[in-house]
Amino acid sequence: MANIASARKRARQAEKRRQHNASLRSELRSAVKSIKKAVEAGDKDAARGVFQRAAGVIDSIADKNIIHKNKAARHKSRLAAAIKAMP
């Protein structure tokens, strides 16, 4: 544990930031999972609607530097391809 006041404050801030980032990463995983679930269900229109909402979530998390912008683009591209490949 830190002994200096500024180090204790920095530790508190780091923990708060870690928890916030973890919740955002969880939100990202939930968004991706919801699209995959819609694709597996076979409803293309529902999958498109879910994708529209999830794309915004993915972009906002990338804007906050929780994940890299290229990773966000890769997620969106693969999910869009999965939707497009649906019959």
pLDDT for position 2? 86
Q: Where are the domains of the chain?
A: 5-84
Q: CATH class for domain 5-84?
A: mainly alpha
How would you label 45-80 residue by residue, b for 16+ Cβ within 10 Å and e otherwise? eebeebbeebbebbeebbeeebbeeeebeebbeebe
Helix axes 69-84, 44-63, angle to 10 degrees: 180
Q: 20-72 pLDDT, tens per residue?
A: 999 999 999 999 999 999 999 998 999 999 999 999 999 999 999 999 999 99
